[in-house]
Amino acid sequence: MWDLKTRQLINNLESHSKPVIALALSADGKTLVTGSADKIIRLWDWHKKQQISTLGGTRYVHSLWLSQDGKIVVTGSFLDSFEVWDTIKKQHLHSLPQIGNPPCVAISPDSKTLISRSSYGNLTTWDLQTGKKTGSLPVDLYQINDIVISPDGKTLVCCHKEIHLWDISTGNLIRTFSKNSIKVNCAAISLDENMLVTGMDNNAIIVWDWQTGKEIRSLVGHRKQVNSIAISLDGNLLVSGSDDQTVVLWNLRTGEKMHVFQGHSGEVYSVAISPYGQVVFSGSEDATIKIWDAKTGKLVKTLEGHISCVDAIAISPDGQTIYSGSNRVRDSSMKIWGLPVLK
């Protein structure tokens, strides 16, 4: 953990004997879960900065997902199964088939359902409590760039050159829509479920009506493909990162381009926005994280510590902590940065 103002190390969580590859923070901000090449899953009390317990010990942890209630952890490896763990009882619950690498996984907001790449030609839905298969979605697995579950947990969005909306409970296709068969690189859903936003391979961002699948507007401002997008909690702001090395802040309601943040010397692969929409974060191929003032458009801080591309950024629910990760051979690390309260 790092102090943003002084850029000094405050706390270092040490226990893993090999690089940390994956991590997740519980929705209440109390528990941090880390997975490593040492095959161990560690649970930490985030506020006390102390280890609570460990899970696993048999498989390289390449990726992990934590349910919103913090009670279930799902881990993926380079092998042929996902492992499901109970964080309360500290028990292994199930092994579920895994097809493909990187793994394709989403957990429903109610923490009851897992959707995974489980057989050729299908995404499979699983009951996380029983480990039993509950259904399948006939999706071409090798044509998926991103999957997102709606905030109410009822709908799955699968993206490639077409966008498919599936009813999770019935396995029925709700609708399909696309923009001239242009590849979709990333997707996000507004919390009120009125809008689906997709970052496209043709440099544009498309805002869709969630209920009808009709295009509301196209946001044009990037010069190269859009790699990452994030929506503020109130649904008013959108931030996007691109291969053109810029980050753009948009008024999602009107389509207005509010700021273009310039300063990265490499492609931007990850973006995030603070819970209250006043601060924007971006991670780049240049190995830095930049923090931007959403109101003024000015650079607040550049965080240096990674030695390779910053592929992922996440913000804690209280807005006080940044989590960053690199999945590159030269880095393969996660870092935790302390921030002032963002309001």
> Side chain identity at 263, as an amino acid letter?
G
CA dihedral 233, 238, 241, 242 (to 10 degrees): 150
Q: Give per-residue pLDDT as tens, 17-26.
A: 776 667 777 7
Whether the CB-CB separation of 149 and 106 falls below 8 Å is answered with yes
- Give the SS3 label for residue 156: strand
* Full DSSP string of 36-82: ETTSEEEEEETTTTEEEEEEE-SS---EEEE-TTSSEEEEE-SSSEE
Which residues partner with 73 through β-bridges? Answer: 66, 85
10, two tokens = 């405050």
Question: What is the residue-level pLDDT of the chain in tens, covering all 343 positions?
Answer: 556 566 555 555 666 777 666 777 777 777 888 887 777 888 888 777 788 888 876 677 777 888 888 888 888 776 667 888 888 888 889 888 766 555 667 888 888 888 876 555 567 888 988 999 888 777 765 567 778 888 888 898 888 788 889 888 888 889 888 888 888 999 999 988 889 999 999 999 999 998 888 999 999 999 999 999 999 989 999 999 999 999 999 999 999 999 999 999 999 999 999 888 889 999 999 999 999 999 999 999 898 888 888 888 888 777 778 888 776 656 666 677 877 544 4
pTM for the model: 0.78
From CA 196, how far away is CA 216, in angstroms rounded? 10
Long-range contacts of 107-111 (CB under 8 A, 24+ apart): 107/65, 107/66, 107/67, 107/68, 107/72, 107/74, 107/149, 108/149, 108/153, 108/168, 109/68, 109/149, 109/151, 109/152, 109/153, 110/68, 110/153, 111/67, 111/68, 111/69, 111/71, 111/72
188, two tokens = 């996000």
Q: Give per-residue pLDDT as tens, 166-207.
A: 888 888 889 888 888 888 999 999 988 889 999 999 999 999
CATH superfamily of 221-343: YVTN repeat-like/Quinoprotein amine dehydrogenase (2.130.10.10)
Domain ranges of the chain: 221-343
3, two tokens = 């102090």
Contacts of 33 (CB under 8 A, 6+ apart): 23, 24, 25, 26, 41, 42, 43, 44, 64, 66, 73, 87
